[in-house]
Amino acid sequence: MIEQLNPDGTLQHLVTLEGLQRPLIEQLLERAQTFVRPLDAPSSRSTALAGVTVANLFGEASTRTRGSFELAARRMGAEVINLELHLSSRSKGETILDTVYTLQSMQIDVLIMRETEPGVPGFVAGHVSSHVSVLSAGEAHLSHPTQGLLDALTIRQHKGNFGPLTVAIVGDVAHSRVARSAWRALTLLGTGEVRLMAPPAFMPEPEEFPGCKRFNSLDDAIAGADVIMMLRIQKERMAETSVPAAADYFAEYGLTPQRLKLARPDAIVMHPGPMNRGIEIDSAVADGPQSVILQQVSNGVAVRMAVLEAVTERVRRLRQGA
């Protein structure tokens, strides 16, 4: 696994939450919280990233992650370039390292990558110059660390301590990088009980989520839960023949207002987006009083500001001669 910390203990890369320590996660969440503003207030700004150049390199579709990384960087004063991989030279056969070295030659300091292929962000992090940081914006089905952090921040805002909580992660767990990173964040933060609910075809191997309670009935999984994290069916990661019929899936695994009554009355409902309304979640739940889905989006900007600030801290100090 790639070393993500600088020799002085500061964060250089964020490719995965695996191997990070709880105090670092807590520090990032604390810092992110300081960037959260009410929606009708002016957005949080700083000059922390003045002189820093950030490249967004996206090889998969993205709305929330891409938009919030860009806003986070700009609101902190960075210069930002956005490259769609299908329009870049990688589509002409350039290797990923040639693309990365090309960007490095333009004095890029932070490379934000979304990749379909497992292992690429870590590989790139192992090859960049020591002043460059690599942030994963989603790696195949494996990892989405800033999503894990924003989910943790959202839960913390509503529930405070993780120790007494029961969190149910529901849906296409097998193909979900969101589930994997959320589970890591929840585990690091000492969550009392993490439940997985997936249809049999979407249940991951137990070794991948050690310590989780596994369910294939939605009603059982959400009974008494404090937090319900719904997941999208990742059609793009499965053969067409494996995609379940929407109506059947909704009947058995869709979160409806009736089912939600089984959870604790103050339970919150999360979804990383994009939602399949009427498949994994009923609109009445998605738009209902227990939904914190849009708050997750707001927290995404705050978390990405905190991460960008953290990974550029050492370089900024060195440049200022401190």
Binding residues vs ligand ASP (CB under 6 A): 138, 144, 177-178, 232, 272-273
| Distance in Å, CB of 322 to ligand ASP, minimum | 37
Query: Token pair of 198, please?
Result: 């997936």
DSSP 189-210: TT-SEEEEE--GGGPPPGGGST
Distance CA 317, CA 319 (A): 5
Q: Do residues 4 and 15 make contact, with C-beta atoms less than 8 angstroms apart?
A: yes
Phi first, then psi, for residue 33 (nearest 5°) are -60, -35
| Distance in Å, CB of 177 to ligand ASP, minimum | 5
| Distance in Å, CB of 284 to ligand ASP, minimum | 21
Please identify, using beta-carbon distances, which residue of 262 and 275 lies nearer to ligand ASP.
Answer: 275
Q: Do residues 213 and 193 make contact, with C-beta atoms less than 8 angstroms apart?
A: yes
Q: Do residues 75 and 44 make contact, with C-beta atoms less than 8 angstroms apart?
A: yes
Give 281's DSSP letter.
Answer: B
How far CA 216 is from CA of 119, 172, 179, 213, in Å, comes to 30, 11, 16, 10
| Distance in Å, CB of 141 to ligand ASP, minimum | 9
Please identify, using beta-carbon distances, which residue of 181 and 312 lies nearer to ligand ASP.
Answer: 181
| Distance in Å, CB of 170 to ligand ASP, minimum | 13
Please identify, using beta-carbon distances, which residue of 177 and 314 lies nearer to ligand ASP.
Answer: 177
| Distance in Å, CB of 273 to ligand ASP, minimum | 6
| Distance in Å, CB of 272 to ligand ASP, minimum | 4
| Distance in Å, CB of 215 to ligand ASP, minimum | 20
Residue (of 226, 278, 272, 291) closest to 248 by Cα position: 278
To the nearest 10 degrees (0 to 180), the angle between helices 145-159 and 22-34 is 70
Please identify, using beta-carbon distances, which residue of 177 and 304 lies nearer to ligand ASP.
Answer: 177
Which residue, judged by CB position, is nearest to ligand ASP in the bound state? Answer: 232
Q: Is 201 exposed, middle or buried (0-12, 13-18, 19+ CB in 10 A)?
A: exposed
Distance CA 129, CA 222 (A): 46
Region for 165 from its dihedrals, namely left if φ exceeds 0, alpha if ψ lies in -120 to 50, beta otherwise: beta
Please identify, using beta-carbon distances, which residue of 122 and 272 lies nearer to ligand ASP.
Answer: 272
